[in-house]
Amino acid sequence: MVTLGHFLLLSGLLMVIGLYGVLTRRNLIAVLMSVEILLNAAALAFASVAAYRDPQIFAGQVFALFIIVVAAAELSIGFAILLNVYRTHGAVTDDAISEMRG
């Protein structure tokens, strides 16, 4: 019997992995990928809570849809920025954009 707890724990673990990725990755594309994992974890949590607890409206699943939309928008903009970073700095690592440090 799969319970809500199973899904939430999996979502939490995905969240931990994404967080680790955001903090450790040095290639900015990889960072954005980690952010994608984070967003997916959140969407999974929403969808599972909706499936177990909200049998009429499924608001959480609607929310998961919106998370996917926002993720797609965020990623496209992020990639466009990275393309510019690549053009101006020749690389997309965190070293390339750390010029402004104090």
Partner 1 sequence: MSLTAFYVLAAFILIFAVLAVTTANMVRAALSLAVTFFLVAGLYLLLGSPALAAIQFMVNASAIPIMTLFIIMMTQSRTSPAPRTWQLVAGFLAAAAALVFFKGAVGHGDGQITPVSPETLGVNLLQAALLPFEVASLLLLLAMVGAIVLARRRAD
Partner 2 sequence: MSYVELSYWIPLLPALGFVVLILFGRSLPGRSSGWIATAVMAVVAVLSLGLLYDVMLAAPGWDLAALLGGHHEEALAKAGSPDFPFRLEWNWLAIRGEAGIPLVIYIDALAAVVTAMVALASLFIHLFSVGYMDGEERYPTFFAYLQLFSAAMLAFVLAGNFFHSLLSWEVMGLMSYLLIGFLYKKKTAQQAQKKAFITTKLADLGFMLGLFWLYLLVGNFDLADLASEQTLAMIGTGAAAAVGLLVFVAAMGKSAQFPLHVWLLDAMEGPTPVSAMIHAATMVAAGVYLTARFYPLLIHGDVLWVVALVGAFTALFAAILAPAFADVKKILAWSTVSQLGYMFLGLGVFGWAAAMFHLVAHAFFKALLFLGSGSMIHGAKTQDIFEMDQLKKYMPWTYWTFLIGALALMGIPPFAGFWSKDLILHAAEEHAKALWLMGLTAAFFTAFYTTRMIVIAFHKPAMPSPWKAAEWTRGAPWLNLGPDEAEPDPSPPEGHHPHESGVEMITALVALAALSFFVGLWGSPLGGYGLLTLVYWGEMPEILPASKLMMGYLTGTLVALSGVALAWFWYSTDPLRQRAPVWLTRMLQRRFYIDEFYYQVVGRIAQAPTYVLAFVDRYLVDGLVDLVGYSTQVASAFLRHLQSGRFATYALYMLLGALALYVGGVR
Q: What residues does 1 pair with on adjacent strands?
A: none
- Amino acid identity of residue 45, one-letter, is A
- The least CB distance from residue 51 to partner 2, in Å, is 26
Per DSSP, helices labelled H in the chain are 4-24, 28-53, 59-89
97 binds partner 1 (CB under 8 A): no
- The least CB distance from residue 86 to partner 1, in Å, is 4
Contact 72, 56 (CB under 8 A): no
Q: Closer to partner 1 by CB, 27 or 100: give it.
A: 27
94 binds partner 2 (CB under 8 A): yes
Binding footprint of partner 2 on the chain (CB under 8 A): 19, 22-24, 26, 28, 31, 94, 97-102
